[in-house]
A and B are shown apart, each in its own frame.
Chain A
Amino acid sequence: MEEVMNSFNFLTAPDVPTAIQLTNNQLSAFIAGGTNLLDLWKYNLVNPTALIDINQLAALSEFRELENGGFRLGAAVKNAETAYHPIIESRYPLLSRAILAGASAQIRNMASNGGNLLQRTRCYYFYDHQVPCNKRIPGSGCPARDGYNRMHAILGASEACIAVFPSDMCVALAALEARINITGGDGERSLAFSDFHRLPGERPDLDNNLKPGELITSIDLPAKGFPLNYSYLKLRDRHSYAFALVSVATALEMDGNTIKEARIALGGVAHKPWRSLEAEEFLREKTACRENFAAAADIILQGAVGLEYNRFKIKLAKNAIIRNGMMAIDPDSQLPGAQPSL
């Protein structure tokens, strides 16, 4: 292994433009909660020469009602603060549930909203410097494909990489069609949630479309939060504090028992939260029932590929989509596994 420096400087900035300016050094990194970054640093997976603290930036630390009826989440706001915010609990309960299904109480008190989007994969080969990994060292190979791939992708994977993106929060943000506000040296831009993360393709080292030196400043939730019919189901090896094997965020707009609009996003199955607009369109004006959710699941899982140890995920995902659809009809009916406290 090449010799690495594990020392870094610690910098603060009074405002976003100054923070961006400090990134002129390509080896710098922004730090908010640090729960993933410092862990990656301890594993020698990132070696910044400077960390730029963004916790003092007022623009990143606020909640804000938007003129279009939406709600803005500051990028440096903590996950727990977001999940327990009265507006999130009442208008975006799917997001609250998804956040509370992830990590532990301590980590949710530390981890930031922007950082949640930037988590690296939990593929064990990525963390192991003794083996190749195309995400860690592009072109070196992927031992996961023929190795122990129980937690790996069944959708959207490439020859180069079968890693999955581990966030729960982002599965709900995908279903809710949030937007990501970004500032960089070239100014501000906004990305649809589905355009933020990327599939591995030939460049699994790139998890998302954030450019070097760019900073996530906030996440905008649209006005429609699906507060009446929603459910987040997370299936995992341990009842709590484990990453998803499969998770499903379902949000429905209902008229009686008829679905007017459906959103379904999957976690734990791909390099990004997985949605199928075709399946969601299929459910429009359909009765909310097991048969229709099963048909939607078949559309979502078209092209799913199982490997030696993760084949079970295809059937697990289908059943999870059906079960979560039924629970979304009446959130009070949610069974163990769909509520973080049960």
Chain B
Amino acid sequence: METDPQNLQPQPVETHLITLKINGQNHSISIRPWVSLLDCLRDHLNLTGTKKGCDHGQCGACTVICGGKRILSCLSLAVMKDGAEITTVEGIATESSLHPLQQAFIDHDAFQCGYCTPGQLCSALGLLSEGRASSREEVKELMSGNLCRCGANVGIIDAIMQVKDGGSYE
């Protein structure tokens, strides 16, 4: 939407009508410009699988996949994602079965409290599709944006390695 500079100041804050395709489903949302993608998902769409940890881009709990890339929803404005395709943790499994990565997290005790898990899962899916990590060390490095206060990191890396080396991801 273009804006005439003459009308810039002062003016009431506009509400924007945006469309997000989330987990394959289109949503039309009327939203104020300062609402983060995270708050849009959780508060406007009731998709509370994505977690708010630090809300400052330091913990990775809010990671979602947007346009095929893992991003931090807390540092994204929903209005800037108009038209985007987004995958959240709610969109990973099928109706009948867990995603292989979710099963691997269970197999390897890759969580305790589970609060970081949705972000870990989305981040790991992004990592796998990016294809930049070949060794375990590289997986660790490229997962460093997701913190786990419970200390399940070893299990998390084990789970990702199982899926990566088994090739059981899309």
Contact = CB atoms under 8 A, between A and B. Distances in A.
A34 B77 contact: yes
Contact of B1 (A12, A41, A103): A12
Contacts of B70: 105-106, 109
B3 A11 contact: yes
Interface string A38-56: 1101100000011101010
A104 B127 CA distance: 11
A106 B13 contact: no
- The listed residue with most B CB atoms (<10 A of its CB), out of A11, A84, A239, is A11
Contact of A7 (B2, B13, B130): B13
Contacts of A106: 57, 60, 63, 70-72, 123, 126, 145
Interface stretch (B43-51, B87-95, B131-139): B131-139
Nearest to B132: A84
- The listed residue with most B CB atoms (<10 A of its CB), out of A7, A12, A18, A104, is A104
22 contacts: A9-B8, A10-B77, A10-B79, A25-B8, A31-B77, A34-B75, A35-B57, A35-B72, A38-B36, A38-B76, A49-B9, A49-B10, A104-B144, A105-B126, A106-B72, A106-B126, A107-B75, A110-B76, A241-B144, A241-B145, A341-B137, A342-B141
Interface of A: 6-14, 18, 21-22, 24-25, 28, 31, 34-35, 38-39, 41-42, 49-51, 53, 55, 80, 84, 103-107, 109-110, 239-241, 340-342
The 3 lowest CB-CB distance pairs between A and B, nearest first, are A104-B145, A10-B33, A240-B144
Interface of B: 1-3, 5, 8-11, 13-14, 16, 32-34, 36, 55-57, 60, 63, 69-72, 75-77, 79-80, 123, 126-127, 130, 132-133, 135, 137-138, 140-146
